[in-house]
């Protein structure tokens, strides 16, 4: 990812590097040659250490981690120009955004399954309701739920718990935040943010601050904060699923003899993951650094914002997997009909991919299976 983005940036012009550096990056990507790159050494003002390791590998001064290429000459002028980039942070950022976006898509499907298991009221997702307060993410979320729930029977309650009723209002900000991240990344991975910028038209070298990645850092901080709210609702819906007054089913969806715990432990797992997500959601942009003898007196810590997002995404995957297990078990117990929409295919996939063991048993393997299923549900 780092090499692909750096090649794309260099191809945008403005770095002044010799074309042979673009050619060797292209060759390395084509044949699968990969350098050793450490993850440490970036604070959001240029991934100097990581890109230096890539350049040293291209020059033959460091060994390849995979594959091999003949060394390429790197002049003194090429060296500084090559490492003047945030390609490592952006590479990890794009992958993190992609993974989290898929989970947010899957959350529509999982929520709809829980909705059917609990006999929710679909009027909360009405087009007229959301046209009256048209935040883009909430409108999009409500439309997704209408698509999945078309033809669902009338709900059991006048007003559902917040986990169902307020889902578009909570999921919406996360969808909007993910869209904002996409816009920022689309600009940065295609930008000639080279310092100095070598401008052919004016024949000037412009020194500037385009290495700053405050846009990336702040966008990811906002995305993680929004994700925490989404995860809170998922744990709330899991709590609804194990409550007989809401589900009409046995406590904890237990099927064994008296005293069986059913899926009670899933609440512990989900809230443990939620705690991890809560810590990962803390903003990283409230700190800074003063380095280089005081000349570099600000840092966005975008690298850390991205890494925190990776941790938050992994935690949310566990939270959502726990809800999926609960929803599928409840639907099996209730034998509730599902609308003839992609939701029926979602249940078929989940029902076929997750074992149905009535008696109490360890759930670790099923949580992992549910986590893997989420990517398949996302495309529905």
- Same domain? 18 vs 133: no
- Same domain? 256 vs 116: yes
- Same domain? 79 vs 176: no
- Same domain? 56 vs 158: no
Dump strand ranges (E) for the chain: 34-35, 64-66, 197-199, 204-206
Q: How confident is the model at residue 153 (pLDDT cuts 50, 70, 90)?
A: confident
Could you tell me the CATH number of the domain that includes residue 176? 1.20.200.10
Residue 102 has pLDDT above 90, yes or no: yes
- Same domain? 199 vs 241: yes
Residue 294 has pLDDT above 90, yes or no: no
Q: Which of 54, 85, 116 is the last residue of a domain?
A: 85
- Same domain? 58 vs 187: no
pTM, two decimals, is: 0.96
Residue 35 has pLDDT above 90, yes or no: yes
- The stretch 90-96 carries a mean pLDDT of 98
Q: What is the pLDDT of residues 2-32, one digit of tens each?
A: 999 999 999 999 999 999 999 999 999 999 9
Task: Note the pLDDT of residue 62.
Answer: 97
- Same domain? 97 vs 195: yes
- Same domain? 224 vs 121: yes
Q: What is the pLDDT of residues 240-286, one digit of tens each?
A: 999 999 999 999 999 988 889 999 999 999 999 999 999 999 999 99
Task: Note the pLDDT of residue 123.
Answer: 95
Of 174, 185, 181, 177, the C-alpha closest to 107 is 174
- Work out how many domains the chain is built from and give that number: 2
- Same domain? 33 vs 148: no
Could you tell me the CATH number of the domain that includes residue 22? 1.10.275.10
Give residue 41's domain range: 2-85
Burial 286-317 (b: 16+ CB within 10 A, else e): eeeeeeeeeeeeebbbbbbbbbbbbbbbbbbb
Q: What is the pLDDT of residues 361-371, one digit of tens each?
A: 999 999 999 99
Q: What is the pLDDT of residues 157-180, one digit of tens each?
A: 999 999 999 999 999 999 999 999
Distance CA 176, CA 380 (A): 20
- Same domain? 231 vs 310: yes
**Residue 152 DSSP label:** P
Q: Which of 64, 85, 106 is the last residue of a domain?
A: 85
Q: What is the pLDDT of residues 314-361, one digit of tens each?
A: 999 999 999 999 999 999 999 988 999 999 999 999 999 999 999 999
């Amino acid at each position: 990812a780092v090499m692909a983005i750096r090649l794309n940036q260099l191809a945008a012009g403005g770095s002044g590097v010799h074309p042979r550096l673009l050619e060797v990056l292209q060759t390395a990507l084509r044949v699968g040659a990969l350098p050793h790159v450490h993850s440490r050494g970036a604070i959001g003002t240029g991934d100097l250490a990581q890109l230096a390791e890539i350049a040293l590998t291209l020059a033959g001064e460091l060994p390849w981690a995979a594959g091999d290429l003949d060394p390429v000459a790197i002049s003194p002028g090429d060296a500084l120009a090559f490492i003047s980039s945030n390609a490592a942070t952006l590479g990890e950022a794009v992958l993190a955004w992609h993974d989290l976006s898929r989970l947010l898509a899957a959350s529509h499907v999982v929520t709809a399954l829980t909705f059917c298991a609990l006999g929710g009221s679909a009027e909360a997702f009405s087009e007229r309701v959301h046209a009256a307060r048209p935040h883009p993410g909430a409108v999009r979320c409500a439309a997704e739920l209408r698509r999945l729930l078309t033809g669902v029977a009338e709900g059991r309650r006048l007003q559902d718990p917040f986990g169902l009723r307020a889902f578009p209002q909570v999921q919406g900000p996360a969808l909007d935040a993910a869209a904002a991240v996409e816009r920022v990344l689309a600009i940065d991975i295609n930008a000639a943010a080279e310092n100095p910028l070598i401008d052919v038209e004016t024949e000037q070298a412009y020194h500037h601050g385009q290495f700053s990645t405050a846009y990336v850092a702040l966008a990811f901080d906002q995305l993680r904060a929004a994700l925490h709210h989404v995860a809170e609702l998922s744990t709330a819906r899991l709590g609804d699923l194990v409550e007989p007054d809401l589900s009409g089913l046995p406590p904890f969806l237990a099927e064994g003899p008296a005293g069986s715990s059913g899926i009670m432990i899933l609440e512990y797992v989900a809230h443990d993951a939620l705690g991890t997500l809560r810590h990962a959601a803390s903003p990283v942009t409230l700190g800074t650094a003063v380095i280089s003898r005081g000349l570099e007196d600000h840092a966005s810590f975008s690298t850390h914002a991205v890494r925190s997002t990776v941790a938050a995404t992994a935690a949310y995957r566990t939270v959502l997997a726990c809800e999926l297990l609960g929803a599928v078990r409840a639907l099996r117990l209730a034998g509730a009909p599902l609308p003839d929409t992609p939701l029926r295919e979602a249940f078929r996939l989940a029902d076929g991919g997750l074992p149905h063991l009535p008696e109490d048993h360890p759930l670790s393997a099923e949580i992992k299976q549910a986590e893997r299923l989420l990517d398949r549900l996302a495309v529905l």
